[in-house]
Amino acid sequence: MKKSFVFIPAILLVLFILNSFAPKEKEPKKKPIKEGKSAGIANIIFKSIDGGKTWQDISEGLPEKLQKEGIPGNGFIANDHGIYLRTGNGVYHSEPNATTAFWTKEIFPGNQRNIVPGKNGILAYNIRGQFLKRINGTSDWSPMYTNFQEQAVRLDSTKDWMYKTYKEREVRTVFETARGTVLIGSSNSLFRSTNNGKTWKQLPIGNGRMKLIESNGVLLTTSKDGILRSTDDGQTWDRVISEGGLGIAVEHIDGGFAAILNNPITKRNSIHISMDSGKTWNAIGEELQPSRASLLM
């Protein structure tokens, strides 16, 4: 089976090249985009089906404003169900095996700007902790984790959650593991639920820099202290990379993982590779100039 690559020049210049997704089942057909289509939009999203040797511009059909604004950082998903883009009042979708630039648009019912893949669908959320979920094969978005904010206030070990500034209470990360455990990261904490959000437990780690991935029972996340690893579904975490500074990104590659760290002293990024499920890591290549995305974190 051929693997497909998705590349977004304005956001990640390294890890999308390393990462790939294999097309599987299609989602139900939706109506083609009629409004907002632009034949002139280009150089927004590229796709490769030959391991990155050649690239196809599949931007046609996306809103014109993306030409100037670029892809929203937390509004993009590329997985075995295709490509999803959250922008404006809709969610744009391209089939995983599409041979031409073809997008369908679904009107989104809320104001949640961020989307992430879930175990069996898509999760949408905003910084206020309001969540929606759409199950694969359906078109309805349903409220999720409606009691999260209330329980988070009671659980916050700092005891002054309600008196923090608004920015310190922002929800930054939502992740659903293969076992169905939900992890929600705020600016200063990580919360974990094993019963679909009915109850939550606060973990002694977490900050706004967390970006989680999972492979074969191993969870990895970026953090202000480097890269953290968990092998018990997110109950406990160990720091596996600390040299280099801030964790910027972590992704799957064939046979292992790749991570980017930012050194706050040299202001440069470094790439690290692990081929033993994230236990040990080796730095590769020369230090890279920091990207705009890493500077904004």
- Which pLDDT tens digits describe the chain residue by residue (297 residues)? 444 444 433 333 333 333 433 333 344 444 444 444 444 688 889 888 888 889 989 999 999 999 888 888 789 998 888 899 999 999 999 988 877 778 999 999 999 999 999 888 999 999 989 999 999 888 899 999 998 988 877 776 555 544 454 444 689 899 999 999 999 998 778 999 999 999 999 998 877 778 999 999 999 999 988 999 999 999 999 999 977 678 999 999 989 999 999 988 888 899 999 999 999 999 986 666 655 444 444
Q: Look at residue 8 and give its three-state secondary structure.
A: coil
Q: Look at residue 114 and give its three-state secondary structure.
A: strand
CB atoms < 10 A from the CB of 132, how many? Answer: 21
Residue 164 makes CB contacts below 8 A (sequence gap 6+) with: 158
Q: Which pLDDT belongs to residue 27? A: 42
Joined tokens for residue 65:
């404003």
Residue type, 152: A
- Return d(Cα 58, Cα 143) in angstroms, integer: 32
E strand spans, 207-295? 212-215, 218-223, 226-230, 238-241, 246-253, 256-263, 268-274, 282-288
Output DSSP code: residue 99.
S
Q: How far is CA 148 from the centre of its chain?
A: 20
CB atoms < 10 A from the CB of 53, how many? Answer: 8
Place of tokens 């780690």: 205
Place of tokens 């150089």: 43
Distances (CA, A) of 220 to 60, 210, 216, 237: 35, 9, 11, 9
Contact 224, 241 (CB under 8 A): no
Residue type, 197: G
- Return d(Cα 157, Cα 285) in angstroms, integer: 41
- Return d(Cα 59, Cα 45) in angstroms, integer: 5
Place of tokens 């790439």: 271
Residues counted in the chain: 297
Output DSSP code: residue 244.
T
Q: Which pLDDT belongs to residue 154? A: 73
